[in-house]
Amino acid sequence: MRILHTADWQLGIKLAFVAPERAAQLRAKRFETVRRIGQLAYERKVDVVIVAGDVLDDNAVGRDTLQQTVDALATFAPIATILLPGNHDPATPDSALARLQRQPHVTVADTRQPLSINGGVVYPCPLTSRHHYDDPADWLPARVPGEGVRVAVAHGGALDFGEDAQLPNRIDVARILGIGFDYVALGDWHGTFKVNDRAWYSGAPEPTRFKEKEPGNVLIVEIDEPGATPRVDVVPVAHTRWLKHEVAFSEERQVDELRAHLDQLPERGSTLLDLTLSGQLPLTAKANLDTMLDEYSERLVHLRLSADGIHVQPTDQELQTFTAEGFIGEAVADLHVTDNPGSRDALVLLHRLMQEVR
């Protein structure tokens, strides 16, 4: 039995911190990624595609999002596709999954009913509310003789995941495996994560936050027979790149190095960058840095900048420029002594004004 295990598509999500037009592009790219997953499923000849929860970002998504979801899922046909309600799209009366237009190959697994799939059985553990304080998988029955490959699908935190057991939607993976399941397809954790040989988080195919670890993948899972150890292949599918970069300035040349680093980034139109800057820079270099960052904030999908840590240290030459006008030199000294973001910005501003005057 060959499975494409994915989860946490969160279709319809829009990132608030990204500029509106870029955010709209990112939302559209998620549907492209879903189509890419469909293509992969076709190429890898999987028996079933399992989406382990959070197909949609919210039950209140609009018709446009639902239609785009239906259109993207249509590319999966005729591969059986199981959509599990997660905490973002639980099987409540306002369920968005229930509003999806029916397609023969798509099953919304919103009840605790096993689904037979080509020599195996998939046991869905749908969330019927946003937060379950009982184990959503506690209904799963033990293996009966003669059953084929058994796959459990659940959305939530695995008990042996080392996190707080008081959190909702906790899943006792060990118990599931103990009652004769061959694989547990998990969702909710956005990074690809192997709980054990038989239990995996596929991770989200598109990242949503910078702090996520190893997002952007789907899993191709092959289980030869009941009891056999699954073979798991991690396949990247993401369209967007979420990068983090830090620079502690001590020399002016590091500004140029940062520029070179940014220049060599591939696919800047699909890249989001979390840039943390600190250290000391002369006024001129700081002004150059500001100009460069202004430029890259336009060229990247999103530039998250933390630059309050940069201290401006005028060079002797810069100071001489200021002290030529006595009172300006004194004002610079005042600002330098104050040394807070406002006074640092004031120094940069003064530097710019001096440039303009000269």
Binding residues for another protein, rule: CB under 8 A, are: 12-20, 23, 57-65, 92-94, 96, 99, 324-328, 330-332, 334-335, 338, 341-343, 345-350, 353-354, 356-358
CB of 272 to another protein, least distance (A): 14
CB of 220 to another protein, least distance (A): 31
CB of 3 to another protein, least distance (A): 29
50-53-56 Cα angle (round to 5): 110
Give the nearer residue to another protein in terms of CB position, either 10 or 192.
10
Give the nearer residue to another protein in terms of CB position, either 117 or 273.
273
CB of 229 to another protein, least distance (A): 40
Rounded to whole angstroms, the Cα distance separating 168 from 104 reads 33
Residue 187, Cα to own-chain centre: how many angstroms?
Answer: 13
CB of 228 to another protein, least distance (A): 41
Q: What would the two tokens of residue 23 be?
A: 């955010």
Give the nearer residue to another protein in terms of CB position, either 113 or 340.
340
CB of 282 to another protein, least distance (A): 17
CB of 197 to another protein, least distance (A): 37
Residue 23 · residue 51 · CB < 8 Å: no
Give the nearer residue to another protein in terms of CB position, either 60 or 165.
60
Give the nearer residue to another protein in terms of CB position, either 260 or 357.
357
Give the nearer residue to another protein in terms of CB position, either 14 or 253.
14
Give the nearer residue to another protein in terms of CB position, either 144 or 357.
357
Closest to 26 in 3D by CA, of 74, 17, 86: 17
Give the nearer residue to another protein in terms of CB position, either 63 or 102.
63
Strand 2-6 versus strand 217-222 pairing type: antiparallel
Give the nearer residue to another protein in terms of CB position, either 164 or 356.
356
Instruction: Give burial (CB, 10 Å; 0-12/13-18/19+) of 228.
Output: middle
Q: At what angle do helices 316-324 and 341-357 cross, to 10 degrees?
A: 70
CB of 356 to another protein, least distance (A): 6
CB of 334 to another protein, least distance (A): 5
